[in-house]
Homo-oligomer: A and B are copies of this chain.
Amino acid sequence: MFETAEVGATLSEAAFREVRDRLRLDLIGLQQRARAADFPIIVILSGVKGAGVIDTVNLLNTWMDPRWIATTAFDEPSDEERERPLFWRYWRSLPPAGTTGLYLGGWYSDPIVQFAEGRLTHASCDDCVLRIKAFERMLAEEGALILKFWLHLSKREQQRRLSRQGKDPLVGLRASDNSWFTPRSYDAYLKAAGYVLKSTMDGAAPWYVVEGGDDNFRRATVLSTLAEHLGRHLKQRGKLLKDRAKAQKRARKLAKRGKGGKSHHVRAPVRNVLDTLNMNQRLTTVAYAKAFHQEQLRLHELQRRARAKGLSTVVVFEGWDAAGKGGAIRRLTFALNARDYRIVPVAAPTDEERAHHYLWRFWRHLGRAGRMTIFDRSWYGRVLVERVEGLTPDDAWMRAYAEINDFEQQLAEHGSAVVKMWLHITKDEQLKRFKERTTVAHKRWKLTDEDWRNRDKWDLYENAVNDMISRTSTTAAPWHLVPANDKRFTRVTVLRTVADAIERNLGG
Contact = CB atoms under 8 A, between A and B. Distances in A.
A296 interface: yes
B67 A102 contact: no
A445 B350 contact: no
B73 A339 contact: yes
Contacts of A342: 70-71
Given A61-B333, A445-B29, A67 B338 contact: no
B62 A330 contact: yes
Contacts of A132: none
A281 interface: no
A442 interface: yes
Given A61-B338, A170-B296, 4 more contacts: A61-B334, A66-B326, A70-B342, A352-B352
Contacts of A78: 78-80, 368
Nearest to A345: B67
Interface of A: 24-25, 28-29, 32, 54, 57-58, 61-62, 65-73, 75, 78-80, 102, 104, 169-170, 173-174, 177, 293, 296-297, 300-301, 304, 326, 329-330, 333-335, 337-339, 341-343, 345, 350-352, 368, 376, 441-442, 445
Shortest 5 CB-CB contacts between residues of A and residues of B: A73-B339, A67-B345, A71-B338, A57-B338, A25-B442
7 contacts: A54-B337, A57-B338, A58-B338, A61-B334, A72-B339, A169-B297, A177-B339
Contacts of A341: 71
Contacts of A68: 345
Contact of A66 (B57, B75, B343): B343
Contacts of A58: 333-334, 338
Copies in the complex: 2
A69 to B, nearest CB: 8
A326 B343 CA distance: 42
A337 B175 CA distance: 9
A338 B54 contact: yes
Contacts of A368: 78
A142 to B, nearest CB: 19
Contacts of A54: 337-338
Contact of A73 (B24, B170, B338): B338
Given A67-B343, A333-B58, A351-B351, A442 B338 contact: no
B28 A329 contact: no
A41 to B, nearest CB: 16
A330 B61 CA distance: 7
Contacts of A301: 173
